[in-house]
Structure 1
Amino acid sequence: MGEGHVIMIIVVHVNDIFAVGRKERCDKVGRDLNEMVPVKNLGELRWYSVCFCERDVEGGVLKISQQRFAEELAAEYGVEWGQSVPLSFSVKPSDFDVNEASADVPFREMVGSLIWLATQAGPDNANAVRAEARYCASPKMVHWKAALGILGYVRRTSWMGITFERGVVTGMSMQVFVDADYASKAADRRSVSRGLVMCVWRLMLPDASMPCIPVFEDNQGAI
């Protein structure tokens, strides 16, 4: 924050609004807005866009969870519990009979809900949901079963949420984890997932007085 400048973030979703900044400034925004349109101040942020927020001001911790939404979604589709990973290695969404009729199931609706969860407080589901979302036009039963598996994982881990912690930055560092094996295309040995780090960074690191970036490769992909 520069001298004479005030930084404030105001988030609007339909008819829900919350502001991030100094408390006195946020309160003033609420009062000024109330002079133009009726608004209700609900105090400390707890619920927003189906997300439950918990904040420990002293400890510098913010936790965001969508547990209630995840549990309601699982109950809607009759999923009680699930696996320990979003998508098992044994599931191959790209391997199916093209002549098989499309499954008469609410696949798009489920994928849309899973995308919502992945972009809010469940980034660990994002890659699995991405793989399933490719088949929304004509889903087969293998895709439906895989989507149910992802939902089961979401139900099992719904209590975790995502946690942000305040910390002191003592230096800049980066680590890269790469999965470049042939897990999803074992038949023709073509890798469809990979990690990419721009090589130009390597040339810039000495000038920035930064160490090299350690890259961790999985065993199967390194063979």
Structure 2
Amino acid sequence: MAHDQLDVLTAFLYGVMKEQVFSVIPEGVNLDTSYFDPCLYIKTSDGHCVLVLVDVEDVLVTGSSLELITRNKNDLKTRFEMTDSGKCAFVLGIELLDGEGGSVTLCQRHYVDDILKRFGMEECKAVASPVDVSSRLMSSSTASKIDVPFREAVGALMHLTTAKRPDIAYAVSFVSRFMKIPQEEHWVAVKRIFRYL
């Protein structure tokens, strides 16, 4: 499946708007708005499909027919001033990897590498699961808070969970319970999630 990226020039106006404005795809573009997401537009033709995903000024065009993709890109470029970045490698921070038979895999390896580096875990020893089932984490209102970037680490893991890694959702949800006064064993649990990644 081909996937190209376009960037709309001057998508932002420099004036302050006094009223709320909702925009829709211009007439003549012949794309249907997705029922599930108002930023996704769909067109089918001769058994093929093209998807146009819009995020502010960035546009991702993908589909089952290269001819249909090219036709829709050209149609958009006649209506808007935009640059054609060609094949899309990243969208919203997620890497797109081409697979066999036209499949596309979404990969956040760069994000994982960045957060491991940010928290000093890039050389950590890998583990097979994100949770140590033998540990019993408890919170204590009398314990003193440790000086580690616990909240930042849990926030980075939450972002990863919602974007691409549901396999760590339970572990991240569990450690997030200890945000108020994190203790050493809670930090160890967060580092285990990093080791699992």
TM-score, normalised to structure 2, is 0.63
Contact 1:50/1:66, CA 8 A, preserved across alignment: yes
- Structure 2 equivalent of residue 115 of structure 1: 158
Deviation at 1:78, TM superposition (A): 0.7
Deviation at 1:99, TM superposition (A): 1.1
Find 2:90's aligned residue among 41, 47, 52.
47
How many equivalent residue pairs? Answer: 152
Instruction: Name the amino acid aligned to 2:132.
Output: S
- Structure 1 equivalent of residue 144 of structure 2: 101
2:58 aligned with 1:16: yes
Flag the 1:83–1:14 CA change in 2: closer, same or farther, 3 A: farther
In the alignment, the residues of structure 2 paired with residue 127 and residue 54 of structure 1 have an alpha-carbon distance, to the nearest angstrom, of: 27
Flag the 1:25–1:60 CA change in 2: closer, same or farther, 3 A: closer
Instruction: Name the amino acid aligned to 1:89.
Output: V
Q: Structure 1: any 5+ residue segments left out of the alignment?
A: 155-223
| SS in structure 2 at match of 1:42 | strand
Deviation at 1:18, TM superposition (A): 0.8
Flag the 1:54–1:140 CA change in 2: closer, same or farther, 3 A: same
- Structure 1 equivalent of residue 130 of structure 2: 86
Deviation at 1:55, TM superposition (A): 1.8
In the alignment, the residues of structure 2 paired with residue 15 and residue 139 of structure 1 have an alpha-carbon distance, to the nearest angstrom, of: 40
In the alignment, the residues of structure 1 paired with residue 150 and residue 72 of structure 2 have an alpha-carbon distance, to the nearest angstrom, of: 42
RMSD (Å) for aligned C-alpha atoms: 2.8
- Structure 2 equivalent of residue 142 of structure 1: 185
Deviation at 1:88, TM superposition (A): 1.0
| SS in structure 2 at match of 1:134 | helix
In the alignment, the residues of structure 1 paired with residue 117 and residue 92 of structure 2 have an alpha-carbon distance, to the nearest angstrom, of: 20
- Structure 1 equivalent of residue 119 of structure 2: 77
- Structure 1 equivalent of residue 103 of structure 2: 61
Instruction: Name the amino acid aligned to 2:157.
Output: L
Contact 1:96/1:142, CA 8 A, preserved across alignment: no
In the alignment, the residues of structure 2 paired with residue 53 and residue 131 of structure 1 have an alpha-carbon distance, to the nearest angstrom, of: 30
In the alignment, the residues of structure 2 paired with residue 8 and residue 134 of structure 1 have an alpha-carbon distance, to the nearest angstrom, of: 43
- Structure 2 equivalent of residue 216 of structure 1: none
Contact 2:141/2:181, CA 8 A, preserved across alignment: no
Q: Structure 2: any 5+ residue segments left out of the alignment?
A: 1-42
Contact 2:153/2:190, CA 8 A, preserved across alignment: yes
Relative to its length, the structure with more strand (as a share) is 2
Deviation at 1:66, TM superposition (A): 1.2
Percent identity at matched positions? Answer: 25
Deviation at 1:90, TM superposition (A): 2.3
Flag the 1:147–1:30 CA change in 2: closer, same or farther, 3 A: same
Instruction: Name the amino acid aligned to 1:121.
Output: K
